[in-house]
Structure 1
């Protein structure tokens, strides 16, 4: 298992477009990837799950992966969130 915490930095938070980008990125990995925010844990490969997080700007999310490419998966998703999903 590998995990990291990251803050959502884009103004509109994890709305539909960034959520779709996050899911598309997560789907490239074989590992089981979960996102956790305020006790709610969702599958990072599920658009509905990611949208349920309702992660606003400044929200902290935990990205947790288990599997053969867990470290690479978490690091790539952290970079995506830190890049503000290319919105700014």
Structure 2
């Protein structure tokens, strides 16, 4: 398992459109990707509803983890998206 901490760049946080983009990308990865806030339980990053209930706002730090085949590249892809302004 690999982990990384990233900051949410989206001005609206992980809500609606950004959460949908992340869930779609996470579901396409060969590894299982989870996300959590510090001190929270990991949830499936491929679940739109889970992402929206996470409550991650702009500037919040989240912890991504990936396990399985191509874990590092899966983690890198999802982390890069979270660190991007997805509001356009």
Common topology (TM > 0.5): yes
When normalised by structure 2's length, the TM-score is 0.91
What is aligned with 2:8? Answer: 8
**Count of residues in correspondence between the two structures:** 87
The more displaced of 37-46 and 58-67 is 37-46
In structure 1, runs of 5+ residues without a counterpart are none
In structure 2, runs of 5+ residues without a counterpart are none
What is aligned with 2:36? Answer: 36
Listed one character per residue, the Cα deviations across residues 9-28 of structure 1 (whole Å, up to 9, x for unaligned) are 22111111000000010011
| Equivalent residue runs for 1:1-88 within 5 Å | 1-38=1-38, 39-85=40-86, 87=87
Q: Structure 1 runs of 4+ off > 6 angstroms?
A: none
Listed one character per residue, the Cα deviations across residues 2-58 of structure 1 (whole Å, up to 9, x for unaligned) are 111101122111111000000010011121111011313211111111111011111
What is the deviation of 1:75?
0.4
When normalised by structure 1's length, the TM-score is 0.91
Q: Provide the C-alpha distance between the structure 2 equivalents of 1:37 and 1:63, rounded to a whole number of angstroms.
A: 9
